[in-house]
Amino acid sequence: MITAPLNTSASVKFNGSGNGQASIGPTHTGEVWNVTSVAVATSQGAASVVNDAQCQIFLGAIATLGQLIDTTLTGSSGDTTDAVASAGPIYVGQVLTAVWTGGDANANATMSIFGTRNIPG
């Protein structure tokens, strides 16, 4: 097993209501992610944000309360959570999902994931 740094992201453009969703997870057979933190922000820059989106991080493709990991009120201007580390390893077929609501229409948002990944060697 090879351990490598995990630094990946998923992006979305908010709709006209300032909402968006992005998901990402391991895709290579046998790969396992050990996530230490997740960061969310838009490309606007904190000073340009008019409506700071709420962002919720879920373990799963469908945003359900039972899979909620953490919530931030600064999903546009930027925030980081390490609560995802307690969710345990993420395996192929699982994803982390960020759901933004109430941001600025048409803003580009990114969820960045950090930690380590184990790759079969």
pLDDT of residue 115: 97
Q: How far apart are the first and last CA of the chain?
A: 5
In the chain, % of residues over pLDDT 70: 100
What pLDDT shows up at residue 45? Answer: 87
Give the mean model confidence (pLDDT) for residues 99-116: 98
CA distance 85 to 57: 12
Distance CA 25, CA 91 (A): 8
Count of other CB atoms within 10 angstroms of residue 21 = 20
Query: Sorting pLDDT into bands at 50, 70 and 90, what band is 121?
Result: confident
Residue 65 pLDDT grade (very low, low, confident, very high; cuts 50, 70, 90): confident
pLDDT of 63 above 80? no
Q: How far apart are CA 89 and CA 106, in angstroms?
A: 33
Share of the chain above pLDDT 90, in %: 88
What domains does the chain contain, in order, with CATH numbers? Answer: 2-119 (2.60.120.260)
Region 70-90 average pLDDT: 94
Residue 3 to residue 99: CA distance in whole angstroms = 29
Q: What average pLDDT does range 58-64 have in this prediction?
A: 87
* pTM metric for this prediction: 0.94
Taking phi first (over 0 means left), then psi (-120 to 50 degrees means alpha), and beta for anything else, what does residue 114 get?
beta
Query: Does 74 have pLDDT greater than 80?
Result: yes
Helix (H, G, I), strand (E, B) or coil at 87: helix
Cα–Cα distance for residue pair 33/74, rounded to 1 Å: 25
